[in-house]
Structure 1
């Protein structure tokens, strides 16, 4: 005996109204998201922080501490989390908040740089003009974040090979996933270049 389709169960009638309704819902959701982003900016996230105000004035080094992303970087699915991580990291340095800095790095990095050494290294440092150029995949579900930034410091606190008051950096930071979210891993060899401003 040949089976016959039950009325209302055929895929054809559903496709006639289901696909257009799904398309309308999708378009409405995208439009609402875009409107909310324009009106309110990126959604707040736990641990998100505002940039430290630039007290040096417009056009002064090191520039704004607000983390900016290139169009290429914003295409990465983790770009919001990476921006929040970087903003917290640089704000911690600018405000000399070791307790907050520790939340941005893995435990091994904390052990390598205890508070006394950290305070000595960053005692006169101020970072700004921070721009993420690319976010790339790394080994074992990690990321590599390529960015540029400017640091000002007492020349005696600059690297021994370039003891100047202002440096422009190009770095690649390793970023790993742990139970607390994204964190900076230990440094990569040959991963940073600096030149005087």
Structure 2
């Protein structure tokens, strides 16, 4: 009788209504694990092929401690020979310092008067964000008394205030800043579409 009971219990466990969900569950777990492993492998292969883009964007080696690095603005040898290099460095240093200090008035003073900037958004980002490793790569004059200034820098922040597509604690940036000089005091214009690149680093 015990044998019949065991056989019956085994038969119950092996019924399609019981076995099929278990098999599907195991298969789903295996697919998820395989996908994660393949994704990690693809990322590793990609990085090996193109290298770490962080130092390329910034134009400098990245701090090994995971920080943004020193807040001082550095001019490349190419940028340093431009006659407006000191003025450009000054406005970018004040821009960096204001962001790190969360000083909206000082930040606003580095921008052209009609720049669009929201005080609440600035305060929320500045609460945790730090800017460092700022490297001015070139200073290119264009029409209208403007200078296009390609530069790289690093930010660290709470991932919740990072850009929505890259919610990470550290980002490397390369932007083409535009500095207006016609008013006598260099100021930064609003970023233009497509003028910013960023990458987790």
Is TM more than 0.5 here? Answer: yes
Look up the SS of the partner of 2:114 in the other structure. helix
Once residues 130 and 144 of structure 1 are traced to their aligned partners in structure 2, the CA distance between those partners, rounded to angstroms, is: 16
Match in the other structure for 1:101: 107
Once residues 91 and 137 of structure 2 are traced to their aligned partners in structure 1, the CA distance between those partners, rounded to angstroms, is: 15
Q: Is the 8 A contact 2:145 2:182 kept in 1?
A: no
Match in the other structure for 2:123: 119
Aligned-residue offset at 1:107: 1.3
Larger radius of gyration: 2
1:164 counterpart (160, 164, 168): 168
Structure-2 change in CA distance of 1:98 and 1:178 (3 Å): farther
1:113-132 per-position Cα deviation (integer Å, ceiling 9, x unaligned)? 13223212332110000000
Once residues 196 and 109 of structure 2 are traced to their aligned partners in structure 1, the CA distance between those partners, rounded to angstroms, is: 22
Q: TM-score, normalised by structure 1?
A: 0.67
Match in the other structure for 1:65: 71
Once residues 81 and 192 of structure 2 are traced to their aligned partners in structure 1, the CA distance between those partners, rounded to angstroms, is: 24
Structure-2 change in CA distance of 1:93 and 1:136 (3 Å): same
Aligned-residue offset at 1:185: 0.8
Q: Which shows bigger deviation, 75-84 or 170-179?
A: 170-179
Match in the other structure for 2:189: 185
1:150 counterpart (150, 154, 175): 154
Match in the other structure for 1:139: 143
Match in the other structure for 1:194: 198
Which ranges of 4 or more aligned residues in structure 1 deviate by more than 6 Å? none
Cα RMSD of the aligned pairs, angstroms, is 1.6
Q: Is the 8 A contact 2:155 2:172 kept in 1?
A: yes
Q: TM-score, normalised by structure 2?
A: 0.66
Matched, 1:174 2:178: yes
Structure 2: tracts of 5 or more residues without a match: 1-62
Structure 1: tracts of 5 or more residues without a match: 1-56
Look up the SS of the partner of 2:95 in the other structure. helix
Residue correspondences, number: 139
Of Structure 1 and Structure 2, which has the larger fraction of its residues in helix? Answer: 2
Select the structure with the greater relative contact order (CA < 8 A; seq sep ≥ 6).
Answer: 2
1:134-193 per-position Cα deviation (integer Å, ceiling 9, x unaligned)? 000122110001000000000111111110000000111011025350000121110010
